[in-house]
């Protein structure tokens, strides 16, 4: 199995020089390289190869390899915020969002950001549903910030964040910036 360093080096060079002719070889072995999921996702995303991996990804999530939540979430970042994938991936992420604390915070966070990016205000119903199951502070914080990004009212955002003392600083940050849009890192959104 390739080391994380060697995959990072190869993927970075391929991205820098737009050398995508061997990307299929990386895709064929991706399930055996969870340690490099972040670099592989960015490679697949930058090459536009993610369009070929939608079915593979949903199968990967349900495979024995999908038990490593970090790699599942990292590989999921190959689906850009700007370009919605097919219904299989969208449904998978909608299920993660609806499961609340029943999924890892990594999957939940990815799903929240992507669903809002792909559906905008239309994601508000899904976020309202997520609030019913987001009964821990970090899940509430993610949901509150997703509500903010989706254009929820200030009172809805305050309600989502105000339930846990741990989230009051996030609420205060939003208040202090007059609910200015919170930027998401380009490396995450694609």
pLDDT at 1: 56
Q: What is the pLDDT of residue 32?
A: 86
Task: Tell the burial category of 129 from Cβ atoms under 10 Å away from its Cβ (0-12, 13-18, 19+).
Answer: middle
pLDDT of residue 37: 93
Contact 105, 138 (CB under 8 A): yes
Q: Tell me, what's the pLDDT at 71?
A: 96
Residue 4: what pLDDT?
Answer: 66
**pLDDT tens string 11-40:** 778 778 887 888 888 888 888 889 999 999
Give residue 11's pLDDT.
Answer: 77
pTM: 0.91
Mean pLDDT (10-residue bins), the chain, 190 residues: 72 79 86 90 93 96 94 97 96 94 95 97 95 94 97 97 97 97 90
Angle, to 10 degrees, between the axis of helix 137-150 and the axis of helix 105-119? Answer: 10
DSSP assignment string, 84-112: ---HHHHHHHHHHHHHGGGS-HHHHHHHH
First to last CA, the chain: 27
pLDDT of residue 9: 75
């Amino acid at each position: 199995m390739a080391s994380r360093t060697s995959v990072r080096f190869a993927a970075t060079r391929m991205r820098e020089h737009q050398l995508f002719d061997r990307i299929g070889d990386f895709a064929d072995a991706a399930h055996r390289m969870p340690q490099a999921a972040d670099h592989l996702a960015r490679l697949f995303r930058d090459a536009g190869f993610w369009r070929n991996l939608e079915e593979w990804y949903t199968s990967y999530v349900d495979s024995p390899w999908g038990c490593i939540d970090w790699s599942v979430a990292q590989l999921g970042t190959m689906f850009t915020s700007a370009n919605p994938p097919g219904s299989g991936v969208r449904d998978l992420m909608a299920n993660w969002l609806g499961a609340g604390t029943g999924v890892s915070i990594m999957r939940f966070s990815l799903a929240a950001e992507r669903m809002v990016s792909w559906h905008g205000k239309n994601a508000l119903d899904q976020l309202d549903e997520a609030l019913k199951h987001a009964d821990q502070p970090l899940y509430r914080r993610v949901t509150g910030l997703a509500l903010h990004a989706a254009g929820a009212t200030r009172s809805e955002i305050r309600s989502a964040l105000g339930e846990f003392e741990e989230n009051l600083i996030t609420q205060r940050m939003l208040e202090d910036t007059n609910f200015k849009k919170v930027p998401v890192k380009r490396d995450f959104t694609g």
